[in-house]
Amino acid sequence: MITKFSYGTPVETFAVVKDFPSAGHEQLRHFSRKKGTVQYFTCMLGEEDIVYGLGETMRGVNKRGGRYISFNYDDPHHKDDMPSMYGAHNFLIVDGEEPFGAFFDTPSKVVFDIDSKGSGVLSVACETQDLRLYIIEGETPYGIVKQFLGIIGRSFLPPLWAFGYGQSRWGYKTERDISRVAAKHEEAGIPLDYICMDIDYMDRYIDFTVNKRRFPNMTGFSAKLKGKGLHLVPIVDAGIKIEPGNPVYSEGVEKEYFCKNHEGTFFKAEVWPGMTHFPDFFQEKVRRWFGDQYKFYTDSGLEGFWNDMNEPAIFSTEYRAKDTKPDVERGDVDQPERHIADFKDFFHRLDDGREKSNYEVHNLYGALMTRASGEGLGRLLDRRYLLFSRSSYIGAHRYGGIWTGDNASTWEMLRQNVYHMPSLNMCGFLYSGADTGGFGGNCDRELLLRWLAVSVFTPLMRNHTAIFTRNQECYRFRKVEDFRTVVSLRYRLLPYLYSEFMKAALRQDMLIRPLAFDYPGDEKARHIHDQLMVGESVMIAPVLEKGVKGRVVYLPEPMTEVRWSSEGFTCIEVGAGERTVMAPLHQVVFYIRKGKLVPVGKQVSNTSELDLMDVELLGTGTEYEQYADDGYTKDCGLNRCVLRRKA
Ligand code: GLC
């Protein structure tokens, strides 16, 4: 059951697509509410309660014991206790005696204190008088999540090629650099579907331009790569460079599509291209205009994009030099608030006529950029597009996916990648993943192999790293055949992974879940967060520690243990309970639930060669409901068939 409460005059966030009448305030039973400068909601947690949700936040799957700030922020120094990331996903689930979910639907800053002091208090401080609160009651956390996914609308549906392996690096500058990446993968026999183009493809980092010297013929180049089954995926940043003569800039100024400051002139912020203006994505006409700009790329045959710097990230402004320290006296002690004065200094005109400072509606900015581009690409292309964004808010999942930003090449960030996946799924973001191998820092062979073995199971599987780090493409490492083996598993599993993604998206369900969601009542499973369920048949238990050759795996029921190596799949039946499993770097071990099947396809070098229906079946089940389609048709219904194991 879902109950909606409205306070003040909420800003339209577009997160919830279903209409509900608001209930009387006296009906709010799960929280007590205090109204002051902030709206303050509190409740007491039971001793054993677990708190799930909060999407892109650090720490772990159980959010208990931490403090989390929904205030989208570009902090490249990822730590496992940092309070804010790039997204605001204000949905949590309390798994206690009477489980319930709560969605705090406001684009303003929200601080969640989930029993950080150990006193059992869960508090939520919303820095606004205007919000909607949805309370969801249900029997189980999973049931509550399904109800929530049912009201926020269907996930974005990427094309099949977006489920292939992608290679990226900030630092590929020219057509030659990119051709080399393609050739090296081919030479090493490592499957690949797309290569990302970071800011250097542009003319001086200006959106909707291409550096002609580096890419003399983008249309020809993209066609040539497509001929080999490869796609190009350019980055697009939020800010438009201030440069008279650039048509996008001039039109934005002339039509007043950019955000203004307190003086009524266009707000100026320094990002990659130097001083920029920020499009006011809160206005429908601006979103339409910005989305239409992607024609520049689609005309060259490009169908995949990553939107960046859209929290928005700001290096400096007219008024604030680059290295301003946090203003501790004003209370700006939390990292994300370093730029508080900047966000208070530019304004959005909402479609309902109100004007709000960015600070007040901050968490929607990136999501509205995603919406603008997603809707634009929907108009421009007759097929599905790939889009993933750095910043997000619930609702943006209907237009694109997300990646979890500038992580680092550390084992802790690999573990965070695992913890993020179910939490993101609870908030609607099915198409997501991390920078495989880590963005900052130098990745080594062992970490990359282990990370790839996790990314095999995440919908977005992209190796990306920063310009100042060591080269991180698989072919840069010793014994490249081990990398070929691990990446190849992704392609063998694609008939299953694609089918499970599409079924989850079309049925508004989760793809990646904590064990507890599938084994309610199993006390042990309830506390295991480094193993995950992927789709209806698979459980993964990845190795997440340096220097070890295996790990202890908990099996809530008897399962098929599948070992993937260069020799193929080997399956053995194993009993329930704990088990020590050896997993050398060149092998990947995963599990198939009792009575379930996994269809595996033929080995291919990219998805253009893949026949989703040409499969063999692994596991002990008798039937599998497979979803398959052409991989690009837009409005796919549920194209299913039932695969039966031959007697
Ligand atoms: C940001 C992005 C990162 C990108 C870099 C350069 O840090 O998060 O992925 O490589 O900008 O564009």
pLDDT band of 322, cuts 50, 70, 90: low
pLDDT band of 330, cuts 50, 70, 90: very low
| Mean pLDDT computed over 313-336 | 62
pLDDT band of 292, cuts 50, 70, 90: very high
| Mean pLDDT computed over 548-560 | 98
pLDDT value of residue 182: 98
pLDDT band of 333, cuts 50, 70, 90: very low
Q: Is the CB of 94 under 6 A from ligand 1?
A: no
Q: Which residues of 6-38 are buried (b: 16+ CB within 10 A; e: fewer)?
A: bbeebbebbbbeeeeeeeeeeeeebbeeeeeeb
Residue 569 has, within 13 A of its CA and on its CB side, a CA count of 23
Full-model pTM: 0.96
| Mean pLDDT computed over 417-445 | 98
Report CA(308)–ligand 1 centroid distance (Å). Answer: 7
pLDDT value of residue 341: 87
Report CA(193)–ligand 1 centroid distance (Å). Answer: 21
The atom of ligand 1 lying closest to the CA of 439 is 9
Supply the residue whose CA is at minimum distance from atom 7 of ligand 1. 406
Asked if residue 70 has pLDDT above 80, the reply is yes
Asked if residue 369 has pLDDT above 70, the reply is yes
Report CA(465)–ligand 1 centroid distance (Å). Answer: 9
| Mean pLDDT computed over 565-594 | 98
pLDDT value of residue 329: 43
The atom of ligand 1 lying closest to the CA of 467 is 10
pLDDT band of 457, cuts 50, 70, 90: very high
By most ligand atoms within 8 Å of CB, the mutation choice from 170, 311, 314, 436 for ligand 1 is 170
pLDDT value of residue 318: 82
Report CA(473)–ligand 1 centroid distance (Å). Answer: 17
* Distance from C-alpha of 571 to C-alpha of 563, rounded to nearest angstrom: 6
Beta-sheet strands, E only, within 461-587:
461-463, 512-514, 532-534, 538-540, 550-555, 559-565, 568-574, 577-582
Active site residues: 308, 311, 406
The atom of ligand 1 lying closest to the CA of 405 is 8
Q: Which residues of 536-563 are buried (b: 16+ CB within 10 A; e: fewer)?
A: bbbbbbbbbeeeeeebebbbbbebbbbb
> Which amino acid would we find at residue 548?
V
By most ligand atoms within 8 Å of CB, the mutation choice from 167, 235, 271 for ligand 1 is 235
* Helix or strand holding residue 414 (H, E): helix 411-426
Biggest distance spanned by C-alpha atoms of the chain:
76
Instruction: Please state the φ and ψ torsions of residue 334, each to the nearest 5 degrees.
Output: -75, 135
Q: Flag the least confident range among 117-126, 146-155, 626-635.
A: 626-635
Q: Is the CB of 235 under 6 A from ligand 1?
A: yes
By most ligand atoms within 8 Å of CB, the mutation choice from 169, 306, 308, 435 for ligand 1 is 308
| Mean pLDDT computed over 155-162 | 97
Q: Is the CB of 198 under 6 A from ligand 1?
A: yes
Asked if residue 336 has pLDDT above 80, the reply is no
pLDDT band of 540, cuts 50, 70, 90: very high
Mean pLDDT over the full length of the chain: 95
| Mean pLDDT computed over 108-116 | 97
Helix runs in 307-349, H state only: 340-344
Asked if residue 261 has pLDDT above 70, the reply is yes
Asked if residue 645 has pLDDT above 90, the reply is no
pLDDT value of residue 644: 82
Asked if residue 200 has pLDDT above 50, the reply is yes
Supply the residue whose CA is at minimum distance from atom 4 of ligand 1. 170
* Distance from C-alpha of 606 to C-alpha of 601, rounded to nearest angstrom: 12
Report CA(307)–ligand 1 centroid distance (Å). Answer: 10
What length is written for the chain?
Answer: 647
> DSSP 3-state helix, strand, coil percentages of the chain (rounded to 5)?
25, 30, 45
Q: Flag the least confident range among 329-338, 366-375, 526-535, 596-605.
A: 329-338
The proportion of the chain whose per-residue pLDDT surpasses 70, expressed as a percent, equals 97
By most ligand atoms within 8 Å of CB, the mutation choice from 74, 173, 198, 407 for ligand 1 is 198
* Distance from C-alpha of 479 to C-alpha of 244, rounded to nearest angstrom: 52
* Distance from C-alpha of 67 to C-alpha of 390, rounded to nearest angstrom: 22
Supply the residue whose CA is at minimum distance from atom 3 of ligand 1. 406
Supply the residue whose CA is at minimum distance from atom 10 of ligand 1. 170
pLDDT band of 324, cuts 50, 70, 90: low
Asked if residue 280 has pLDDT above 80, the reply is yes
Q: Is the CB of 361 under 6 A from ligand 1?
A: no
Supply the residue whose CA is at minimum distance from atom 5 of ligand 1. 170
Q: Flag the least confident range among 323-332, 364-373, 520-529, 593-602.
A: 323-332
Give the position of tokens 């700009």: 293
Asked if residue 323 has pLDDT above 70, the reply is no
Report CA(132)–ligand 1 centroid distance (Å). Answer: 33
The proportion of the chain whose per-residue pLDDT surpasses 90, expressed as a percent, equals 92
CA dist list (Å): 52 to 125, 405, 540: 18, 21, 20
* Pairing assessment for the beta strands 616-619 and 597-600 based on DSSP bridges: antiparallel
The answer to whether the peptide bond before residue 520 is cis (omega within 30 degrees of 0) is no
Q: Is the CB of 405 under 6 A from ligand 1?
A: yes
pLDDT band of 388, cuts 50, 70, 90: very high
pLDDT band of 319, cuts 50, 70, 90: confident
Q: Is the CB of 390 under 6 A from ligand 1?
A: yes
DSSP 567: T
Three-state secondary-structure class, residue 458: coil
Asked if residue 321 has pLDDT above 80, the reply is no
64 dihedral zone (left: phi>0; alpha: psi -120 to 50; beta): beta
Q: Is the CB of 170 under 6 A from ligand 1?
A: yes
